Amino acid sequence: MNHQPFEEWLLNDKNLTPAETRELDLHLRTCTHCTALSATGLALRSAPVVAPAAGFTLRFQQRLAAQKIAERRRKLWGMTVLVVGGVGLLGWFTAPYLMAFFNAPVEWVTVAIGYFLFIVTSLQALTEVMVVLLRMAPDFIPPYVWMVLASTMTGIGLLWTISIWQFSRTPQGVSA
């Protein structure tokens, strides 16, 4: 059974038109769910409103401030443990290499130059391979495949942009 407009009318306490009132009355005669919701709403509306105890807002604000301070303190400790652990782990892994470097720097310089030359020559070879593939690709791939690839990349870029926008928005509600 569809309860949507009736639940909305009962929960929002809005003034109903005569037609809506008749429709709601007819529905309440047949629907136990909405009848219970109506009775609950009536009981809640008829309950006396009790004023908060003296100093409630002050105590609430103090408790909220204390919770914010405790949260900041937890975050600070967590960040401290993370940084100290990361630096310790980095030191643990790099200590043998640093000791070897300070013991024989000539070997490290020759190894570094060898790696640099390897990277440069590998990039040159990769560039040449990519140039050849890019010259040959248009002949082997039909135009509709290029359109699908371009559309897919555009869609991925759009999703990426929307997700970054969604995650970088400031949350609405209570602010510090």
Report domain extents, the chain.
4-46, 75-168
**21-35, 47-61, 70-84, range with greatest mean pLDDT:** 70-84
In this model, does residue 9 exceed pLDDT 70?
A: yes
With beta carbons less than 8 A apart as the criterion, state whether 6 and 29 touch: no
The token duo for 67 is 């919770």
pLDDT confidence of residue 176: 43
With beta carbons less than 8 A apart as the criterion, state whether 35 and 28 touch: yes
Distance set, CA 137 to CA 77, 146, 149, 159 (Å): 55, 10, 13, 27
pLDDT confidence of residue 130: 94
The token duo for 153 is 């990349």
pLDDT confidence of residue 143: 84
In this model, does residue 13 exceed pLDDT 80?
A: no
Query: From CA 115, how far away is CA 98, in angstroms rounded?
Result: 18
Query: From CA 108, how far away is CA 116, in angstroms rounded?
Result: 12
Token pair 């510090």 in the structure block, residue: 176
In this model, does residue 59 exceed pLDDT 50?
A: yes
pLDDT confidence of residue 127: 96
Computed on alpha carbons and rounded to an integer, the radius of gyration of the chain in Å comes to 34
Residue 7 CA to chain centroid, in angstroms?
32
Report, as an integer, the average pLDDT of 161-167. 88
The reported pTM is 0.35
For the beta carbon of residue 9, count every other beta carbon within 10 angstroms.
19
Spatial CA neighbour of 36 closest among 12, 13, 7, 15: 7
Q: What percentage of the chain carries pLDDT values higher than 70?
A: 94
The type of residue at 154 is T
First-to-last alpha carbon distance for the chain, in angstroms, is 44
Report, as an integer, the average pLDDT of 8-15. 78
